[in-house]
Amino acid sequence: MGDLLEIGIAVFTDGPYSDCVFSQRLRLDFYQSEDVLRVSRAFKAVQLALMSLHKLYARLQDKPPSKNNIAHIFPSPSPVPSYKGNMPSLSFTDRLSRTGELYLLAKSPDERRSGIYLATMPKSRGTDGPATGSSSGDAPDGQVEVVVKFTTKYNADAHRILADAGLAPALHACIPVCGRLHMVVMERVHGEMAWDVQQRGELLPYTVYKDVKAAINLLHQHNFVFGDLRTPNIMCAPGASSSGSDEGSHAMLIDFDWVGTHGSARYPAILNDTLSVWAFGMQRRAMMYKEHDLAMLEKIRELCQAHTA
């Protein structure tokens, strides 16, 4: 439109996905040399992309994929050129909704926007440590089932701190990939979200509160604020609590997108501050403080059974 040049891409898998990957005003001003160079590079990139597509289609014509092949609905991530670590060998198997439901073909905008997947990877040392995730009946021999999440922001340091204490799933990798995203590979924990228990109108075991409190205290010792301490981000798994109790459920925190440094990091601009669940002071772009976690922790305690000595 006018002097605005935009280049978009689209792909159809279980539905149409599109994105604008380039935008430039075509003006000959003080920066005309840089602008001409940027536009020429963009056109060269389009030329190379078209050549690659022609080669791909030619290979598909010579050797069509099987009708049962579903690889095209899964991502094929590439690390950024500056990344020098190992890239885990992942075989994607399912997509995962924010509420923990498995699906292959997206049927709603929310499912289409989800960047969470199930995959398997070899039982070996991952990028950030040993692959200690529990195998399931769905994982082949010699493989471990993992959750793979794509996100723009992730605090891997905070995740590792809690994972080492058994208060978060094991973290196998957190890798910057093309598209300004991080690919997070973690252990798949079999259990249910605290949110599911809450939706059934049931109280959570008191051990859940004790584990969440231990996790928050540990993060605070490292000057981190968790931030989004709501029930969808708490996983309840069977087994002994980290506090030593054999009764109830073992709780883990599973989302580290918001985690930031106390008194320095800020809440995201997309925080829905019309909800009544937030602690006082939690709002869009507000500073993050440990006091917010403690107030949210009290809300979790109110959702749990009374403590019995």
Q: Give the 3-state DSSP-derived string for 190-208, with helices as H, strands as E and coil as C.
A: CCEEHHHHHHCCCCECHHH
pTM (two decimals): 0.85
pLDDT of residue 243: 60
Full domain range(s) for residue 51 = 4-62
Binned at pLDDT 50, 70 and 90, residue 217 comes out as very high
Q: Has residue 51 been placed in a domain?
A: yes
Q: Is residue 216 scored above 50 in pLDDT?
A: yes
Q: DSSP class of residue 125?
A: B
Taking only the tens place, the pLDDT of each residue in 245-288 is 556 679 999 999 999 999 999 999 999 989 999 999 999 999 99
Instruction: For residues 203 and 288, state if they share a domain.
Output: yes
Instruction: For residues 32 and 138, state if they share a domain.
Output: no
Binned at pLDDT 50, 70 and 90, residue 244 comes out as low
Q: Is residue 130 scored above 50 in pLDDT?
A: no
Nearest to 254 by CA among 165, 155, 168, 130: 168
Count of domains for the chain: 3
Q: What is the mean pLDDT of residues 182-199?
A: 94
**Boundary (domain end) residue, out of 171, 187, 203:** 187
Instruction: For residues 75 and 115, state if they share a domain.
Output: yes
